[in-house]
Amino acid sequence: MHFQCLPTELDPEQVKDYLFGLQQRSKTPSQTYFKHTVYGLRFLLKTEGLPYDFLHLPSISREKKLPVILSREEIWRMLQRAQLLKHRLLIGLLYGCGLRCMEVRGIRLCHLDFDRGMLHVVQGKGNKDRYVPLSEHLVRGIKSYLSTAHPKVYLFEGSGNAEGKGFDGRYSQRGVQWAVKTVAKAAGISKEVNVHMLRHSYATHLLEDGVNIVTVQRLLGHANIETTMVYLHVCTLPHSLPCSPLDKVFELCGLSGR
């Protein structure tokens, strides 16, 4: 629209000038808009079978943000404030098994192995299966839920109300997100809680409990251990827990009355 022609008809210098103008323009919506423009051009080149350097597109560096996690006390408050057993189990599985949103929605009754205390996560991200242990508390809760809700195929089936019902009868993604946010708000948690934050907390707490990182990688279903290693930056291991120097000042001087 800017040059009144197709992007593939532009030369690299025109593209550079346009992208530079996007970043310099005072009314530019955001850096995200710039990134999406580059991603859109990349997609166009891919569909046309052209290399990315055809337009000399800039590389987009990923922001290195550490995951935000919930404390064990906040997890407990969410479990206590969930009014429906369905929501309590949903939160318990997301945190207690480190599941992604699509994975918890995809739990079928046949995936539950109560005898072994295991959950079969089928076709998770990357189309990989894995087994994760089920808490005894979850097993008891799920059995109670099954005896009252009587789901037929999926453990969590949409009810068609405000929570949302998926096209195939499963609990919808929006419904899962709504349930987590609603319970977090009821628990008085000030953090901007989302579904994936429970998975982040699962990984971090496992590492803090001494589970080795290779096992955590397997439980999360990560293809590369580098993805799992980010949790090493947020977990606090007892032997390496830092302390504020202010505590030492109070310890040496404050208690002695100096």
21 Cβ partners below 8 Å, 6+ apart? Answer: none
Choosing from 95, 171, 202, 231, which is the catalytic residue?
231
Nearest in space to 203 (alpha carbons), one of 174, 232, 169: 232
* DSSP labels, 152-166: SSBSSB--SSTT-B-
- Angle among Cα 228, 128, 141 to the nearest 5 degrees reads 80
Nearest in space to 198 (alpha carbons), one of 65, 79, 84: 79
Query: CA-CA distance, 258 to 135, in Å (whole number)?
Result: 51
Query: CA-CA distance, 90 to 79, in Å (whole number)?
Result: 10
Is the separation of the CB atoms in 98 and 202 below 8 Å? yes
* 222 a catalytic residue: yes
* 111 a catalytic residue: no
Is the separation of the CB atoms in 118 and 134 below 8 Å? yes
In the chain, count H helices and then E strands.
11, 3
15 Cβ partners below 8 Å, 6+ apart? Answer: 7, 41, 55, 56, 57
Choosing from 2, 125, 191, 248, which is the catalytic residue?
125
* 231 a catalytic residue: yes
Choosing from 81, 86, 87, 100, which is the catalytic residue?
100
- Angle among Cα 69, 112, 204 to the nearest 5 degrees reads 15
Choosing from 77, 86, 199, 205, which is the catalytic residue?
199
Choosing from 35, 120, 130, 196, which is the catalytic residue?
196
Give the three-state DSSP class for 121. Answer: strand
Of the chain, the end-to-end C-alpha distance in Å amounts to 72
**Positions marked active-site:** 100, 125, 196, 199, 222, 231
